[in-house]
Amino acid sequence: MNDDTPDSMQELADVLQDVRRHLLWQEETAGRSLLVDAKVAAELQQQRAAASSVRTMIARTKAPEPAAAPTPPRPPVESPSRDTLHAAMKQPLGAPRPLATTPPPAAAPRAPMAAATPPPSAPRAAPAPAMLLDVPPSAPRHNGALPGVVEGERPTLDQVRRELGDCRRCKLCSGRKNIVFGSGNPRADLVFVGEGPGENEDLQGVPFVGAAGDLLTKMIGAMGFTRNDVYIANVVKCRPPGNRNPEPDEIAACEPFLRSQLLAIQPKVIVALGKFAAQTLLRDTTPITRMRGQWREYEGIQLMPTFHPAYLLRNSAEKRNAWADLQQVMKLFGKHPGSSA
């Protein structure tokens, strides 16, 4: 087969486009690909090699031949077929590697929270590994899991919000009235993460403003903070219809933005409210009833899983346990709890 025909060049260009689109898609949606293990890394390397070899071929077929010098015969090029590339690209990336599951010692508190304290200049969260795409060195590079984040840099919340835009990445966009991005102090030392907006939040574009929000506001107050001291966000930013649970594809589409928000804020402590927040951030399917009250670690940040306020509204006997969890958080900030919420 003659690889220099216009048809084959076009086909190669098409394949390259497919590869780039696929890698961009991975970058946009597959936050988990950041936690690549060796096998996944090898698969990604293969995909990059395939893309690179296609690009090389296209460059060769497009390069002008020198006019005078006789051209040595070109060695035959190993041309991956479209089918081979597609098959390679469709290989599963494998399950995400779970983060450390042993609770960090709660006896190592960071400095007490001070809302006005500027964040450390060096990001606490480790920068993500180099991304998958070959892009010109001058172009900013995304780090793959974190939309709006240039590799090695700490984003601002505004950048993350801009990247989210008028999001259409999952089906929740069709029913929402407002995206509920998050609210509070962008430099908070304490972040609360809920599940997803309900009806009131959807109407106002602000998290936790309904009945569960009232309880959360009380919990925050009982801890000695105000809503303006802390930051409040959700796993999904758009209301699931009828307040149903968010579905895995919706969480997968939105989770990278939550991770970017946390990278931007770099709090000292995260309180994960309910199973969706705790299981998503920790990549751990342990039930919330067993996870709650145990210090965990998210990207070097202390994380306390506890019950969701909406659950507490339905199960008030559990408020005592939730309060015990929050008291542990208070201790970390050097605050001295009373005996009840």
- 234 binding ligand URA? (CB under 6 A): yes
Q: Choose among 336, 316, 319, 332: nearest CA to 103.
A: 332
Site map 286..325 versus ligand URA, x via CB under 6 A: ------------------------x---------------
- Rounded to a whole number of angstroms, the minimum distance from the CB of residue 281 to ligand URA is 13
E strand or H helix that includes residue 279:
helix 275-282
Shortest Å distance, C-beta 78 to ligand URA: 52
Rg (CA), the chain: 24
Kindly tell me which residue out of 197, 240, 246, 267 binds ligand URA, with binding defined by CB under 6 A: 197
CA dist 254 and 299 (Å) reads 18
| Residue 333 binds ligand URA (CB under 6 A) | no
In angstroms, the Cα distances linking 64 to 59, 67, 136, 244, 270 are 10, 8, 22, 59, 58
Q: How large is the angle between the packed helices 38-62 and 6-29, nearest 10 degrees?
A: 150
Helices marked H in 30-156 — which ranges?
A: 38-62, 82-90
Strands 190-194 and 269-273: parallel
SS (H, E, C) 135-198: CCCCCCCECCCCCCCECCCCCCHHHHHHHHCCCCCCHHHHCCCCCCCCEECCCCCEEEEECCCC
What is the DSSP secondary-structure string of 208-275?
S-SHHHHHHHHHHHHTT--TTTSEEEESSSSPPGGGPPPPHHHHHHHHHHHHHHHHHH--SEEEEESH
Is position 202 an interface residue for ligand URA (rule: CB under 6 A)?
A: no
| 306 sits in which H/E element | strand 301-306
* Closest separation in Å from C-beta 245 to ligand URA: 10
- By beta-carbon proximity to ligand URA, the closer residue of 80 and 192 is 192
181 binds ligand URA (CB under 6 A): no
Q: With CB under 6 A as the contact rule, which of the stretches 207-215, 249-257, 259-267, 279-287 interacts with ligand URA?
A: 207-215
Candidate residues 148, 196, 240, 246; the one interacting with ligand URA per rule CB under 6 A: 196
Which of 198, 246, 267, 305 touches ligand URA by CB under 6 A?
A: 198
Distance of closest approach, residue 254 Cβ to ligand URA, in angstroms: 12
Residue range at the interface with ligand URA (CB under 6 A); choices 22-30, 150-158, 205-213, 323-331: 205-213
Distance CA 322, CA 314 (A): 13
Q: Looking at 73-81, 151-159, 196-204, 330-338, which segment touches ligand URA (CB under 6 A)?
A: 196-204
Identify the residue among 31, 131, 149, 208 touching ligand URA (CB under 6 A). Answer: 208
Judged by CB under 6 A, the number of residues near ligand URA is: 14
Kindly state whether residue 194 participates in binding ligand URA, applying the rule CB under 6 A: yes
Segment lying near ligand URA (by CB under 6 A), choices 63-71, 98-106, 135-143, 204-212: 204-212
Among the listed residues 43, 201, 250, 255, the single contact to ligand URA using CB under 6 A: 201
In the complex, the smallest distance separating the C-beta of residue 37 from ligand URA, rounded to whole angstroms, is 31
Number of neighbours of residue 180 by Cβ within 10 angstroms: 28
Which range binds ligand URA by CB under 6 A, 11-19, 24-32, 164-172, 192-200?
192-200
> Does 236 help bind ligand URA (rule: CB under 6 A)?
no
Task: Candidates 195, 250, 255, 325: give the one binding ligand URA (CB under 6 A).
Answer: 195
**182 Rama class: left (phi>0) / alpha (psi -120 to 50) / beta:** left
Query: Which strand (E) or helix (H) includes residue 290?
Result: helix 288-291
Interface ranges with ligand URA (CB under 6 A): 180, 194-198, 201, 207-208, 210, 212-213, 234, 310
